[in-house]
Chains A and B, each alone.
Chain A
Amino acid sequence: MSEAGERTAREMPRALRMGLVGFSFAAVASAVGVWGVGFLRTGPPPVAAKVVRTASGCNAYLTIQTVGSIGYGPRPSWVSYLVQNTKGQWVHSTIFVLPSHCTIHMTNYEYDGVTPLRNNVFGRVTGTVGGKEYVTGDVGSKKYSTSTPVSVVDGATVPAHTFTVPALGINVPWAATTASNLCAVAPCSPKSPHDIDKITFKTGAAGYYRWQCIVPCGLNFLDGNGGPMQTMGYMQGFLAVEQS
């Protein structure tokens, strides 16, 4: 009986304490939840290409660089793409905003060295205007001092990475420099050894198109397929083709 009496006497404070514990728990949980949603939504920013419209049509200029190790951020040693925004600054991103029904002039400053392809099929340039890329620099043992068209390369000795957009039929093996003193911190200075690879392709209808590097370039990951190969902002991205 005394126990029951004690319980009645303590009833209200107990309820109050339970409420307080519950309330503080709910407050902490919702704060963590809000932070969590924000954290999960972080990702590389979309970066727009420079668009020039003339009477003859739409032209857009997209300039990127590929670097063997980004040198900063949470994954400093990972191979990465960077893109130039309309102000000319280098941004670490792989989400490129392009206008629809437009000719895209894409330039890649390739600061990374050669990583062999596993499947030579991806050594072929497809989906670009004329089925060609234009290389200044090394293509395997050949050296071009002026921009030279290339339509197929040796997968074992030439590419650093690829720019592959399955939905648009695009595949470009970026020819790599064969020099050894590679740039290790982005953005790289043009003094570092590099190839300049240019392509032109046409965007069709608006859409969100996935692109991916096919070279298994995730160094020290099993089969080279982990890490940067599976992460937005490194070896995969989107072409956000917007209605224009």
Chain B
Amino acid sequence: MAIDQELYRPPPPVTPPEGGSWRQRVIPWWPHPNILTGILLGAGGYALGHFLGNVIAGNWARFGNTNMNDVALIIGYLVATLGFLVGIGALNYPVAKIFGLDPPLAKAAPRGLSRYFAYTPDHKVVGWQYLIGMLIYFFTGGMFALAIRTELLFPRYHSHIFNPETYLTIVGIHGTMMMMMMTSVIVGPFGNYFVPLMIGAKRMAYPRLEALSFWLTPPAYIILLSTMLVGGFPTGWTGYAPLANEAVQGMDGYEVAFALMALSLIITSVNMIATIVDFRAPGMRWTRLPMFVWGALTTSVLTALAPPVLFAGLYFMGMDRTVGTALFVDAHGGSSYLWENVFWFFGHPEVYILALPGFAIAAELLPVFTRRRLFGYNVSAAGMIGVCFMSWFVWQHHLFVSGINADMRPLFMLTTEVISIPTGFIYLVAMATLWKGKLRFEVPSLFVLAFYLNFLIGGVSGVFLSDVPVDVTVHGSFFVQAHFHYTIMGGLIFAFFGAIYYWIPKMTGYEMNKTLGWIHFWVMFIAFQLTFIPLFIVGELGMPRRYFEYAPKWATLNQTASAGAYAIAISMIIFVINLVYSMVWARKRSVENPWFSRGLEWQTATPPPPDNFERIPLVLSHPYDYGNPIEDIPVADLRGVPTPAVLAASAAGVSGGSDEIDDPPGPGAGPGDRGGEQ
């Protein structure tokens, strides 16, 4: 029991180096690996990889007449990514360790603003990087959405803004970029930033992997956009074979970008699971785990298992397109069904990778704003585990009209309908929490309410779609498109903005402007309905997805949807104005804990200090004990783990079992580890 004395002792004071002040040892930002050195080596890596690819495959017959060497392009992308990671310093630590050296510049990690452009093991910096990174992804994908809606303003005849293949590329980049972004949009920023704070840890389990998971996303972004330069890709985000096999070089960028994102997701999830399982503070029992952490955990289980399948599929496709295997080519013994199955075996759990974090945010925020205990905490957590498990048994509902064995269809219709039961658990728990609650209408709670409304429409239309007869009728139409935009954009993105408004005061110490927040919400909410309700109707009338022309009788509905899309863009501009105004211009100090949350993340200083907590807190009670007589019981004792005697008394009385006390700081923890955080 002397362990706490050893572990939570403040670090020894750092003495300035000989012959100079400490200040001089702080090296300026530019010799430290940063995003610019990364870009430099990335560009060099591309040139090198492309050259190598041409040496290897320049005279292969299969590229003879196409004037496109897929081998050179893919090796170029891969070496560029490697070069970027080397340039940003991702390999400094492991390589130095291999040779038994001190990690270069570890003691002189950049401070201030420049650390946000560097490879850093600080989970709060990575959270910020993810937040800004995913917003850039989101806004870029949104620009492509606007391009789609602009093309569809007029049905046909001299009104085309783009060529048909350009339109398909725009649809493909919009879909792929949004899907890549959505998988990380909550767990990336808020998971990395808040999970350690919410479970009472000082950091994530694998800080360097955490940085790696983020720094894989900028190359993925650039590579995906670069597909435009080499002819684009015609498949949309689903990359169906054999269209993908016969597509031009743009397809290679889709493969590499999506694969990098899959890798990033796998790394994030491993880190998240290890952190949540191993790094909980004493007293943070499973039954006290905040719903957001439950969401991050179940999502991470899915992202640990589903993206590897996608990665394998993309690898197969890359092999087909480069060295000439025929895994997806029916004529040579492969099967295009293989791609469809592999893709959706990833793709359907992916749907829940998008849904669960939204539910987690909503369930996390609701008790705070209703001042009520979360109704059925166990049911909600069980629902998440149920969804996590069930989501592996539904993927063939995407293949109902593909010509699969017809006997499979009732089975997958049934499993798809069954998964709405655990989803219903999570949903009804929230409704019961709202029931007779006194809801405070703050900006975050508005976004949460909108989340539930939108998800209701998206979810119920999803139950329709799971029925084979309905799916056979509306498959591949805008009905499907409207359905998943209601669940993903109407669900996840509304939850995402709710989370931004909720947590930004904690992350920065400054308030978001409330009036602008209200305007943002109402413009976005109304514009969202204006965009996607007409698309349900045109889809039901038979308008297919991914076509750049349509029957003139659908013009009014399409124009309404386009107007809605422009209004969503306006709401995003209002959000950016609010963010810049509140964080850079007005800088109004937020009060500590403005929402009166019991969450552990609100108990520490604002913004959180480098190590989150001065001492590892001792969690004393449930995070959602609002409105109970015991609300006065503090959620945690921030003085940390007390002396063994007090500890024993508290463990017997109010708090967690003694087995959780010797919570280790994790493998590999050492003085050098926090170099980047200082």
CB neighbors of B among A56-82 (8 A): 69, 75-78
Partner of B228, one of A18, A40, A223: A40
Find A14's partner among B112, B161, B231 (CB 8 Å cutoff): B112
Q: Are A76 and B67 in contact (CB under 8 A)?
A: yes
Residue B63 at the chain A interface, CB threshold 8 Å: yes
Contacts of A206 in B (CB 8 A): 157
Would you call A18 and B156 a contact (CB within 8 A)?
Answer: no
A41 cross-chain contacts in B, Cβ below 8 A: 161-162, 166
Interface assignment of B545: CB less than 8 Å from any CB of chain A? no
Instruction: Tell whether, in the assembled complex, residue B231 and residue A231 are in contact, meaning their CB atoms are under 8 Å apart.
Output: yes
B116: nearest residue on chain A (CB-CB)? A21
A40 and B67 contact, Cβ closer than 8 Å, known pairs A222-B329, A223-B242: no
In the complex, which residues of chain A have a beta carbon less than 8 angstroms from the beta carbon of B160?
208
How far does the alpha carbon of A43 sit from the alpha carbon of B163 in the complex, in Å? 7
Q: Which residues of A contact B242 (CB under 8 A)?
A: 222-223
How many whole Å from A14's CB to the nearest CB in chain B?
Answer: 7
Q: CB distance A227 to B158 under 8 Å?
A: no
Decide: B65 and A219 in contact? CB cutoff 8 A: yes
Q: Does B587 contact A (CB under 8 A)?
A: yes
Q: B232 to chain A: closest CB distance in Å?
A: 9
Q: Is A232 an interface residue (CB 8 A)?
A: yes
Query: With A and B bound together, what is the CA distance between A41 and B170 in angstroms?
Result: 11
A205: shortest Cβ distance to chain B, in Å? 10
Q: Tell me which of B65, B147, B331, B580 contacts A22 (CB under 8 A).
A: B580
Interface 1/0s, chain B 127-169, versus A by CB < 8 A?
0000000000000000100010000000011101111111001
Q: Which of A205-223 contact B (CB under 8 A)?
A: 206-208, 210, 218-223
* Chain A 169-191 residues near chain B, CB threshold 8 A: none
Q: Which of B63, B162, B165, B549 contacts A220 (CB 8 A)?
A: B63
Tell me if A226 and B246 are in contact (CB < 8 A): yes
Residue interface bits A1-37, CB-to-B below 8 A is 1, else 0: 0000000000100110111011000000000010011
Contact of B163 among A222, A226, A232 (CB under 8 A): A232
A64 to B126, CA, bound (A): 58
**What separation, in Å, do the CA atoms of A207 and B159 have in the docked complex?**
11
Contacts of B65 in A (CB 8 A): 69, 77, 219-220
Chain A residues near B587 (CB, 8 Å)? 11, 15
Cα of A222 to Cα of B320 in the assembled complex, Å: 10
A230 and B245 alpha carbons, distance in the complex (Å): 13
In the complex, B66 has a CB within 8 A of chain A: yes
- Nearest A-chain residue to B62, judged by Cβ: A220
Q: Is B231 touching A18 in the complex (CB atoms < 8 A)?
A: no
Alpha-carbon gap, A3 to B520, bound state (A): 35
Question: What residues on A are CB-neighbors of B557 within 8 Å?
Answer: none
Do A221 and B246 touch across chains, with their CB atoms under 8 A apart? yes
Q: Of the candidates A33, A208, A230, A240, which one forms a contact with B248 in the assembled complex, judged by CB atoms under 8 Å apart?
A: A230
Say yes or no: A77 contacts B66, CB within 8 Å.
yes
For the complex, is B676 an interface residue (Cβ under 8 Å from A)?
no
CB distance from B538 to the nearest CB of A (A): 20
Q: Which residue of B lies closest to A46 (CB)?
A: B158
Any B CB within 8 A of the CB of A225 = yes
Interface status of B390 (Cβ within 8 A of chain A): no
| Interfacial chain A residues near B2, Cβ < 8 Å | none
A77 and B143 CA atoms in complex are apart in Å by 33
Within 8 A of B (CB), among A84-126: none
Contacts A40-B162, A225-B246; A78 near B67 (Cβ below 8 A): yes
Partner of A232, one of B61, B165, B245, B246: B165
Q: Determine the distance from Cα of A40 to Cα of B247 in the docked complex, in whole angstroms.
A: 18
The answer to whether A230 and B156 touch (CB under 8 A), given A18-B584, A77-B67, is: no
With a cutoff of 8 Å between Cβ atoms, the chain A residues found around residue B248 in the complex are 226-227, 230-231
Counting chain A residues whose Cβ lies within 8 A of the other chain, the interface size class is 35 or more
Contacts of B228 in A (CB 8 A): 36, 39-40
Interface-central residue, B63, B246, B585, by most chain A CB under 10 Å: B246
| Closest chain B residue, CB of each to CB of A229 | B246
B64 within 8 A of A: yes
- Contact status B67-A223, CB under 8 Å: no
Chain B's closest residue to A69 (CB) is: B65
Q: Give B325 Cβ to nearest chain A Cβ, in Å.
A: 12
Contact status B67-A75, CB under 8 Å: yes
A210→B65 CA distance, assembly (Å): 26
In the complex, A15→B509 CA distance in Å? 14
B646 at the interface (CB under 8 A from A): no
Contacts of A222 in B (CB 8 A): 242, 245-246, 329
Known: A222-B246, A226-B248, A230-B248. A15 touches B62 (CB 8 A): no
The answer to whether B524 has its CB under 8 Å from any CB of chain A is: no
A207 adjacent to B165 (CB under 8 Å): no
CB distance from B556 to the nearest CB of A (A): 20
CB distance from A22 to the nearest CB of B (A): 6
Closest to A15 in B: B584
Residue of A nearest to B117 (CB): A21
Cβ of A230 and Cβ of B580 under 8 Å apart? Answer: no
Complex Cα–Cα for A39 and B227 (A): 12
Q: Does B583 belong to the interface (CB within 8 Å)?
A: yes
Which among A14, A219, A220 has the highest number of chain B CB atoms within 10 Å?
A220
Given A18-B583, A22-B580, A39-B228; A207-B246 close (CB under 8 Å): no
B143 contact set on A, CB distance < 8 A = 33
B544 beta carbon closer than 8 Å to chain A? no
A230→B247 contact, CB < 8 A: yes
* One of B158, B166, B169 near A240 (C-beta < 8 A): B158
Chain B residues with CB under 8 Å of A21's CB are 113
A220-B147 contact in complex given A22-B584, A40-B166, A208-B157, C-beta closer than 8 Å: no
B163 touches A223 (CB 8 A): no
A41 to B580, CA, bound (A): 32
B419 → chain A closest CB, angstroms? 36
> Complex: how many Å from CA A238 to CA B226?
27
B583 to chain A: closest residue by CB = A18
Chain B: CB-nearest residue to A208? B157
Partner of B147, one of A11, A17, A40, A236: A40
* CB–CB A19/B584 < 8 A: yes
Chain B hits for A218, CB < 8 A: 246
Which single residue of chain A is at the shortest CB-CB distance from B164?
A232
Q: Whole-angstrom distance from the CB of A81 to the nearest CB of chain B? A: 15
Tell me, in angstroms, the Cα distance from A218 to B243 when the chains sit together. 13
Q: Which residues of A contact B164 (CB under 8 A)?
A: 210, 232, 236
| 8 A Cβ contacts from B523-567 to A | 549
Residue of A nearest to B587 (CB): A15
B248 smallest CB distance to A (angstroms): 6
List the B residue with the shortest CB-CB distance to A73.
Answer: B67
Q: Report the minimal beta-carbon distance from A76 to chain B, rounded to whole angstroms.
A: 6
Q: Is the CB of A230 within 8 A of B234?
A: yes
Whether A40 and B64, one on each chain, are in contact in the complex, defined by CB atoms closer than 8 angstroms, is no
Residues of B within 8 A of A37 (CB): 147
Counting chain A CB atoms within 10 Å of each CB, the highest count among B65, B160, B165, B585 belongs to B65
**Residues in B neighbouring A225, C-beta threshold 8 A:** 246
Which residue of chain A is the closest to B156 with respect to CB atoms? A208
**Considering the chains assembled together, what is the distance between the CA atoms of A223 and B244 in angstroms?**
12
Instruction: Write out the residue numbers on chain A whose beta carbons fall within 8 Å of the beta carbon of B549.
Output: 208
**What chain A residues lie within 8 Å of B329 (beta carbons)?**
222
B357 to chain A minimum Cβ distance, whole angstroms, is 27
Instruction: List A residues at the B interface (Cβ < 8 Å).
Output: 11, 14-15, 17-19, 21-22, 33, 36-37, 39-41, 43, 69, 75-78, 206-208, 210, 218-223, 225-227, 230-232, 236, 240, 242
Smallest CB-CB A-B distances: 4 pairs: A226-B246, A222-B246, A232-B163, A208-B157
11 interchain pairs, CB-CB under 8 A: A18-B583, A18-B584, A39-B228, A40-B162, A41-B162, A206-B157, A219-B65, A220-B64, A220-B65, A227-B246, A230-B247
Further pairs besides A208-B157, A230-B234: 16, Cβ < 8 Å: A19-B584, A22-B580, A36-B228, A41-B166, A43-B162, A75-B67, A78-B67, A207-B157, A208-B156, A208-B158, A210-B164, A220-B61, A226-B247, A226-B248, A227-B248, A232-B163
